[in-house]
Structure 1
Amino acid sequence: MAFNKEQWSWIFYDWANSGYGIIVTTAVLPIYFKGVAENSGVTAANATAYWGYANSFGTLLVAVLAPFLGALADYQGYKKRLLTGFASLGMVMTIGLALLPSNQWQWLLVIYVLSVLGYSGGNLFYDSFLTDVSDNRQMDRLSSVGYGFGYLGGVIAFLLFMVLEFTNGFGQLSSLGVARWGFALAAVWWLAFYLPFQRNVQQRHALNTTAAPLRQSWHRVWQTILHLRQHKYLAWFLVAYFCYIDGVDTIFTMATSIGLDIGVQSTTLILVLLVVQLVAFPFSILYGWLAGKTSTRTGILVAIVVYLVICLDALNLKTTTDFWILAVLVGTSQGGIQALSRSYFARLVPKDRSSEFFGFYNILGKFSAVLGPILVGVVTQMTGQSRIGAASLSILFVLGLLIFLTIPRTMVDKS
Structure 2
Amino acid sequence: MHRSLAKTVTSREIWSWAMYDFANSGYTTVVITAIFNAYFVSVVAGNAPWATLAWTLALAVSYTLIMLFAPVIGAYADAYAAKKKLLAATTIGCVIFTALLAFAGPNSLWLTIPLIVFSNFFYGCGENLIAAFLPELARGRALGKVSGWGWSLGYVGGLVSLGACLAYVTWAQGHNQKATDFVPVTMLITAALFALSSLPTFMFLKERALPQPHLQGLNIFQESFARLGHTLRRAKQFRDLRRFLICTVFYQAGIQAVITLAAIYAQQAMHFTTQQTIMLIFVVNITAAIGAFLFGHVQDRIGHIPTIALTLFGWIGMILLAWGAEGPTQFWIAANLAGVCMGSSQSAGRALVGFLSPAARRAEFFGLWGLAVKFSSILGPITYGLVSWISKGDHRLAILITGSYFVAGLLILAGIDVKRGRRVALRKENQS
Q: Is 2:129 the counterpart of 1:125?
A: yes
How far apart in 2 are the matches of 1:372 and 1:104? 26
- Partner letter of residue 330 of structure 1? A
Instruction: Please name the residue that 1:396 is paired with.
Output: 405
Residues 370 and 52 of structure 1: CA distance in aligned 2, closer, same or farther (over 3 Å): closer
Give the count of matched residue pairs. 411
Instruction: Report Cα offsets for 1:284-319 as digits up to 9, x if no partner.
Output: 100011123222222212112222333445564333
Q: Is 2:149 the counterpart of 1:145?
A: yes
Counterparts in 2 of 1:294-333, with a 5 A limit? 294-313=302-321, 316-333=324-341
How far apart in 2 are the matches of 1:33 and 1:79? 33
Instruction: Report Cα offsets for 1:140-185 as digits up to 9, x if no partner.
Output: 1111111111111111211111222222299698754533332222
How far apart in 2 are the matches of 1:381 and 1:20? 30
How far apart in 2 are the matches of 1:102 and 1:316? 33
Give 1:368's match in structure 2, choosing from 359, 362, 376. 376
Normalization by structure 2: what TM-score? 0.83
Q: Is 2:351 the counterpart of 1:347?
A: no
The CA deviation at 1:337 is 0.5
- Which deviates further from its counterpart, 302-311 or 348-357? 302-311
Residues 209 and 291 of structure 1: CA distance in aligned 2, closer, same or farther (over 3 Å): same
SS of equivalent residue, structure 2 residue 139: coil
Instruction: Report Cα offsets for 1:245-270 as digits up to 9, x if no partner.
Output: 22222334454555556644334433
Does the CA contact (< 8 Å) of 2:34 and 2:262 recur in 1?
no
How far apart in 2 are the matches of 1:389 and 1:46? 14
How far apart in 1 are the matches of 2:254 and 2:183? 31
Give 2:71's match in structure 1, choosing from 64, 67, 70. 67
Give 2:222's match in structure 1, choosing from 206, 215, 222. 215
How far apart in 1 are the matches of 2:355 and 2:105? 47
Q: Is 2:246 the counterpart of 1:239?
A: yes
Instruction: Report Cα offsets for 1:379-408 as digits up to 9, x if no partner.
Output: 9979x9865664455543333223222122
Residues 209 and 101 of structure 1: CA distance in aligned 2, closer, same or farther (over 3 Å): farther
Does the CA contact (< 8 Å) of 1:145 and 1:288 recur in 2?
yes
Instruction: Please name the residue that 2:23 is paired with.
Output: 16
Does the CA contact (< 8 Å) of 2:81 and 2:207 recur in 1?
yes
Does the CA contact (< 8 Å) of 2:26 and 2:157 recur in 1?
yes
- Partner letter of residue 129 of structure 1? F
The CA deviation at 1:115 is 1.7
Q: Is 2:294 the counterpart of 1:290?
A: no
Instruction: Please name the residue that 1:407 is paired with.
Output: 416
Instruction: Please name the residue that 2:345 is paired with.
Output: 337
How far apart in 1 are the matches of 2:317 and 2:178? 44
The CA deviation at 1:78 is 1.3
How far apart in 2 are the matches of 1:385 and 1:106? 27
Instruction: Report Cα offsets for 1:49-100 as digits up to 9, x if no partner.
Output: 6544432221211111111111111124311111111111111222333478
How far apart in 1 are the matches of 2:148 and 2:30? 22
SS of equivalent residue, structure 1 residue 19: helix
Counterparts in 2 of 1:149-168, with a 5 A limit? 149-168=153-172
SS of equivalent residue, structure 1 residue 137: helix
How far apart in 1 are the matches of 2:291 and 2:308? 13
How far apart in 2 are the matches of 1:100 and 1:138? 43
**Percent same amino acid among aligned pairs?**
27
- Which deviates further from its counterpart, 258-267 or 76-85? 258-267
Does the CA contact (< 8 Å) of 2:250 and 2:405 recur in 1?
yes
Kindly report the root-mean-square deviation, in angstroms, between the aligned alpha carbons of the 2 structures.
3.4
- Which deviates further from its counterpart, 309-318 or 329-338? 309-318
Normalization by structure 1: what TM-score? 0.86
Instruction: Please name the residue that 1:77 is paired with.
Output: 81
The CA deviation at 1:234 is 0.9
